[in-house]
């Protein structure tokens, strides 16, 4: 009977202390730092959550990257530590640009040809990150575009 009481006491003790071992901050997004973005990145996937004729060929698709030309797929975005950049947008077009992370969650980047882009960062590893952007289609339907960036 003493063993039962001991086990019961230990079970109650550990159960009551369980909340003290949980870090409540682990469930909150911590954001992203400039140092994580510095380097060269290539967009290797881009998709939509809704079907749309993204390239005007009469067929609706979600995989926007598959509609890109070979030259569009040659993109490389180089983000320098001083928040300047060099963006290769196609086979023959490379432009100077700038970038910044806003509120540790939004990647803003711009160049003369493309203007300002603002995308929410949703995931990141050492070799890849993903961004999303809300978009309204010409018919008024909302869509979310997700890009996958791969380190070069």
What is the count of structural domains for the chain? 1
Asked if the structure places residue 71 within a domain, the reply is: yes
Calculate the alpha carbon distances from 152 to 28, 40, 43, 44, 46 in Å.
30, 5, 10, 11, 17
**What is the pLDDT confidence band of residue 77, given thresholds at 50, 70 and 90?**
very high
Asked if the structure places residue 53 within a domain, the reply is: yes
Asked if the structure places residue 130 within a domain, the reply is: yes
Asked if the structure places residue 5 within a domain, the reply is: no
- Backbone torsions φ then ψ of 44, nearest 5 degrees: -115, -5
112-137 residue pLDDT tens: 989 999 999 999 999 999 999 999 99
Asked if the structure places residue 147 within a domain, the reply is: yes
- List the CATH number of the domain containing 62: 2.40.128.20
Distance CA 67, CA 11 (A): 59
End-to-end CA distance of the chain: 66
- pLDDT (mean) for 135-150: 96
Range of the domain at 105: 32-151
Asked if the structure places residue 72 within a domain, the reply is: yes
Asked if the structure places residue 7 within a domain, the reply is: no
Buried-exposed string 68-102: b where 16+ CB fall within 10 A, e elsewhere: beeeeeebebbbeeebebebbbeeeeeeebbbebe
- Which region among 10-24, 36-50, 79-93, 110-124 has the lowest average model confidence (pLDDT)? 10-24
Asked if the structure places residue 19 within a domain, the reply is: no
């Amino acid at each position: 009977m003493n063993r039962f009481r001991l086990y019961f006491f230990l079970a109650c003790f550990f159960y009551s202390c369980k909340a003290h071992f949980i870090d409540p901050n682990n469930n909150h997004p911590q954001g992203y730092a400039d140092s994580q973005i510095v380097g060269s990145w290539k967009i290797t996937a881009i998709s939509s959550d809704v079907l749309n004729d993204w390239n005007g060929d009469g067929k609706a698709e979600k995989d926007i990257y598959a509609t890109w030309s070979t030259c569009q797929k040659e993109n490389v975005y180089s983000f320098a530590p001083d928040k300047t950049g060099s963006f290769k947008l196609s086979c023959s077009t490379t432009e100077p640009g700038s970038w910044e992370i806003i509120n540790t969650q939004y990647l803003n980047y711009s160049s003369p040809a493309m203007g300002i882009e603002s995308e929410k960062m949703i995931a990141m590893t050492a070799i890849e990150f993903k961004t999303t952007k809300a978009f309204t289609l010409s018919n008024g339907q909302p869509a979310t575009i997700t890009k996958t960036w791969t380190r070069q």
